[in-house]
Amino acid sequence: MKFQIEDVTVYFPYDNIYPEQYAYMVELKRALDAKGHCLLEMPTGTGKTIALLSLITSYALSKPSNPIKFIYCTRTVHEMEKTLSELKLLHNYQLQHLGPAAKILALGLSSRKNLCINPTVVSAENRDSVDAACRKLTASWVRELAAENPRIPTCSFFENYEKSASEAILPPGVYTLQDLRAYGKLKGWCPYFLARHMVQLANVVVYSYQYLLDPKVAGIISKEMQRESVVVFDEAHNIDNVCIEALSVSVRMQTLEGATRNINRMSQEIDRFKATDAGRLRAEYNRLVEGLALRGDLPASDAWLANPALPNDILKEAVPGNIRRAEHFLSVLRRLVQYIRGRLQTENVEKEGPVAFVASVNTQAGIDQKMLRFCYDRLHSLMLTLEISDTDEFLHIQTICDFATLVGTYTRGFSIIIEPFDERMPHIPDPVLQLCCHDASLAIKPVFERFQSVVITSGTLSPIDLYPRLLNFNPVVSRSFTMSLTRDCICPMVLTRGSDQLPVSTKYDLRSDPGVEKNYGKLLLEMVSVVPDGIVCFFVSYSYMDGIVNSWHETGLLKEIMQHKLVFIETQDVVETTLALDNYRKACDCGRGAVFFSVARGKVAEGIDFDRHYGRLVIMFGVPFQYTLSRILLARLEYLRDTFQIKEGDFLTFDALRQAAQCVGRVIRSKADYGMMIFADKRYSRHDKRSKLPGWILSHLRDAHLNLSTDMAAHIAREFLRKMAQPYDKTGVMGKKTLLSEADLEKMGNSNLGEMF
């Protein structure tokens, strides 16, 4: 269908549109008009992605004079593929209506692991080794050697791509990763380098968060994106954590050992070069004297690392004299590693700011701030000079240099924490030095500054006013939309008491109370006998889950539960968990019924959907607060309070509730689906906790369901499941219109839109 939003004609590939999708588009359009950033919350299952794609491409089409680029960031490769296939559908529709004028180039970009088509390279097991294997075949020195000696292997795809040079471009169209690989095979060109090249020319780019947020990668990939771009972060409820992780480094003993090995290897290489090709080292020295800014003489394919957010003025400076020579630089690194090793010997937990740390490095190891700051670039340059292509071997020293540069660059928003052992296992020494970033706005700041509009959207962004403060920006639009439903297909409940009327909670003083554990067990037992097919349970942590499952086992409750349903448990091992999930699905399919025990903040809570019969009920046992005694968290809380005036309690509750909402949101992925959610903790009934849940859950949370005991919850579940089992009528009954056609939209006009929602 085709309709008008103010001055933009929107092409939407389906015959009907949900009212909330329409409202979403209107808000988005206003944000684009204002050339500002926006925050939009809309529940999953309402077609957020297609609404976004459809509006932004239509917006670009309606303004041919100043074309905007559209950058869409997803969290996983799977989501990337899904987005691209939806875009393909939309593109076909637009082509039908507008003809060739609507032609765009859209493609996904991912790592070599996902794009490489060279069979010998792609067979390597992880991402780093694929990268290294690729470099071994495509690095400029390898190719030079190969030109003289044909027995040295190169990658034919890359050679072909290089040969066709300027002709190697993609014709307009929408390319998923698979399409890219197929096209690469057809033409004999390397899809990875082709895609990387085409990203600069494409109208729509879909890639992972890291390409924009991680300064190391962003420098190469996203450097040349134009300002007139719309950047979308989808599923962005955890964006602050992604930002923080991008700038945090942790160093362990193994890292140091590995780094020492790397340094030794490099010094051997230097000795070898000195004997054979001393000119190279001298050339590098001269280049460094002229400054980093002139580093443009290396071929593009070799630029595989970049500077983590170095301020521009530093780039223009030359590398400090005392690390220009390779041997000197290596000895600096050696001293740094030695110094860190010394710090790790400590018996106590230590916490320091970057300034104090740098001062102590300076006095004890004789390395000043400027040298630290240049470590990253100096290492990069040295590795190129030494023609090291198996970069996966050198990760350890890279980590050390990352650390050094970050510590040398930032004086605020970071802290260095040294812990001699894990808090939970005090007798096993496992010293770790962590450089943790507390300020999510550091990593995302360049994005907000560089691009005209940044859209942050997700199913759970509540409370929506906290995100601008955490990320330190001013949105022009921030709205939360609810779902229009033909029937009440979600049934959230707050369970505060067991059947014996005693309160249940995972509060610290209550959690190991046998009464509470028993009540939780009884709750699950009641539910397995009432709810068909799949049930998902989320616990606050692995250790809590282990404890409570053990106690259920001892009291025989687990056995009773197993009479009704099979029990599967998430573990920290990915393979094991995948297997468990697989069998869980099988058990749901064949009617045996199953329960899946999982952990909030775990892999399952973030990425796995439990839609339809795979999850008819999700129980959230307790409030998933972070481990509040963790030093990193405490330091972050302190920073947030001092800098952004966010109270500790507020942040903790916000963080816990968004995790809880994320967990329970797993069960409902479309409007035809239905599911129940039980928040089993008495603290959920308090207003300050509850009000932080997203609007689409709150609007279904009836007052009568706020303070339930186990037997009441079971009764409500019975009724709800019966009601939902009745035939589903898509078009809606009793005047609840949830699908708008083209005619409806015209009738509605823009004038009375406000009243509708």
The residues binding another protein (CB under 8 A) are 497, 499-501, 529-533, 563-565, 588-593, 612-613, 616, 685-687, 703-704, 707-708, 711-712, 715, 718, 721-727
In the complex with another protein, the residue whose CB is nearer, 428 or 733, is 733
- Where helices occur in 306-458 by DSSP H, the ranges are 312-316, 326-344, 354-365, 369-385, 395-409, 440-450
Sign of the dihedral through C-alpha 643, 648, 649, 651? positive
Single out the residue of 451, 446, 126 nearest to residue 308, CA to CA: 446
Tell the smallest beta-carbon distance from residue 528 to another protein (Å): 8
Cα torsion through 85, 91, 93, 96, rounded to 10: -140
- Alpha carbon 133 to its chain centroid, in Å, reads 26
In the complex with another protein, the residue whose CB is nearer, 469 or 585, is 585
In the complex with another protein, the residue whose CB is nearer, 301 or 496, is 496
Structure tokens at 133: 């294997």
In the complex with another protein, the residue whose CB is nearer, 449 or 500, is 500
In the complex with another protein, the residue whose CB is nearer, 90 or 527, is 527
Amino acid at site 417: I
In the complex with another protein, the residue whose CB is nearer, 223 or 592, is 592
Tell the smallest beta-carbon distance from residue 610 to another protein (Å): 13
Report whether 380 contacts 219 (CB < 8 A).
no
Tell the smallest beta-carbon distance from residue 493 to another protein (Å): 11
Tell the smallest beta-carbon distance from residue 567 to another protein (Å): 13
Per the omega criterion (within 30 degrees of 0), is the bond before 463 cis? yes
Non-local CB neighbours of 129 within 8 Å, separated by 6+ positions: 392
Non-local CB neighbours of 167 within 8 Å, separated by 6+ positions: none
* Cα gap 449→520, rounded to integer Å: 49
* Cα gap 497→34, rounded to integer Å: 50
Amino acid at site 339: Y
In the complex with another protein, the residue whose CB is nearer, 575 or 733, is 733
* Cα gap 467→460, rounded to integer Å: 11
Tell the smallest beta-carbon distance from residue 394 to another protein (Å): 51
In the complex with another protein, the residue whose CB is nearer, 272 or 718, is 718
In the complex with another protein, the residue whose CB is nearer, 143 or 497, is 497
Tell the smallest beta-carbon distance from residue 609 to another protein (Å): 15
Calculate ∠ Cα 455-456-458, nearest 5°.
Answer: 130
Tell the smallest beta-carbon distance from residue 558 to another protein (Å): 17
Tell the smallest beta-carbon distance from residue 612 to another protein (Å): 7
- Where helices occur in 366-503 by DSSP H, the ranges are 369-385, 395-409, 440-450, 466-471
* Cα gap 176→187, rounded to integer Å: 16
In the complex with another protein, the residue whose CB is nearer, 227 or 723, is 723
* Cα gap 598→442, rounded to integer Å: 33
In the complex with another protein, the residue whose CB is nearer, 281 or 588, is 588
Tell the smallest beta-carbon distance from residue 711 to another protein (Å): 8
Buried b (16+ CB within 10 A) or exposed e, 606-630: bebebbbbbbbbbbbbbbbbbeeee
Task: Report residue 119: phi and psi, to 5°.
Answer: -60, -35
Tell the smallest beta-carbon distance from residue 616 to another protein (Å): 8
Report whether 11 contacts 90 (CB < 8 A).
yes
Single out the residue of 482, 694, 478 nearest to residue 38, CA to CA: 478
In the complex with another protein, the residue whose CB is nearer, 7 or 609, is 609
Pairing of strands 249-252, 229-233: unpaired
* Cα gap 296→288, rounded to integer Å: 12
Task: Report residue 38: phi and psi, to 5°.
Answer: -145, 160
Tell the smallest beta-carbon distance from residue 585 to another protein (Å): 11
Tell the smallest beta-carbon distance from residue 716 to another protein (Å): 10
